[in-house]
Structure 1
């Protein structure tokens, strides 16, 4: 594992946002959802997430997730993904979203 300076970590904008909308991303090459995430002062940002094996669209609405907000936007099929939702693999190798255990204000930054 490569080590980084604390200043490198500080350059990453990791913020909490609430998923307000979720749709099946039919044009994606791999099964995915289109997400619209409320990031407070940053506004509503879109993301594409390959999390269909673990989550149903209706259970994602209202879930707070940790997002990387300062990557450049990425075009995925006909959808512009503006933030990266974070997650880790479960025992089956499927992505489980990084969340908080208590509700916090949308846009809150990870320190």
Structure 2
């Protein structure tokens, strides 16, 4: 039992400042990386479609309806409802205005295949 609590010689000296810098950097990468790498809709295209699409995962139209794009295979877990429910909860929107779309293979979402 003593071995579990022995001090490891490879410890990381993490202070509050380096932790805050690391979390802020990670947050910025997660916030802006989809715009650079995913081929998401530009602002001009979004205005033409009359839809707000900050990521490839969901789109909001002008009447407040939200379309959630599910890029995972549905194998009985019903992941679509869970992800759509999370988006609706985070956006504080009416659940009746949320729709789910199961996407097909595309460069935005990757190769959609289920196999074992």
Higher strand content, 1 or 2: 1
Same fold (TM over 0.5): no
Higher helix content, 1 or 2: 2
Greater C-alpha radius of gyration: 2
Higher relative contact order (CA 8 A, sep 6+): 1
TM-score, normalising length: structure 2 = 0.24
TM-score, normalising length: structure 1 = 0.24
